[in-house]
Amino acid sequence: MSEAHAHPNYIKIWFWLLILLAISVAGPMLEIPWVTVVTAFGIAAVKTFMVAAKFMHLQFEKKIIWYLLIICVTFLGVFYFGVAADIMNSSGQQWKDCIADNTCIEQRL
């Protein structure tokens, strides 16, 4: 069982999560790209932090768990940027971009 710590007001946190959900749905309706990115992904990040910190009690957790999670997210970044350098580059010779001409799936069938 978790170590003794005061439980936060979970109902209040849930209420704020619902408000953030409403904003994340309403934001993209404005059809302004930067507003869409901020409301959809920025708010997803805030909601994630709230769920992790309050519901998963990460705010009371030992540092080793924080290190574990930070390492995981860092490696995801390494994966993304490591692969992106190749995936995003379709210039040069001997290249056939099957994503752009939508033939990747057909090639596998």
Partner 1 sequence: MSLQGPIATHRMRTGIPTGRLAVWWGLASEIFIFGGLIMCFLLFKFNNAPGFEDADMTSTAAGAFNTFVLLTSSLSIVLAHAAAEKGDIQASFRYIWFTIGGGLVFLLVKTYEYSSKIYGGITLTENVFWSFYFTATGLHALHVIGGMVIMGMISFDVRKNHNLQRVELIGLYWHFVDIVWIFLFPILYIANF
Binding site for partner 1 (CB under 8 A): 1-2, 7, 10-11, 13-14, 17-18, 21, 24-25, 28, 33, 36-37, 40-41, 44, 47-48, 51-52, 55-56, 61-62, 64-65, 68-69, 72-73, 75-76, 79-80, 83-84, 87-88, 90, 99-100, 102, 104-105, 109
**For partner 1, the closer CB: 94 or 101:** 101
**CB 60, min distance to partner 1, A:** 11
CA proximity to 5, closest of 67, 53, 46, 64: 53
- Cβ 66 vs Cβ 58: under 8 Å: yes
Note whether 88 and 94 are within 8 A (CB).
no
Return the DSSP state at 4: S
Give the count of alpha carbons within 13 A of 63, CB side only.
Answer: 0
Minimum gap (Å) between residue 59 Cβ and partner 1? 13
- Judged by beta carbon, residue 21 or residue 94, the one nearer partner 1 is 21
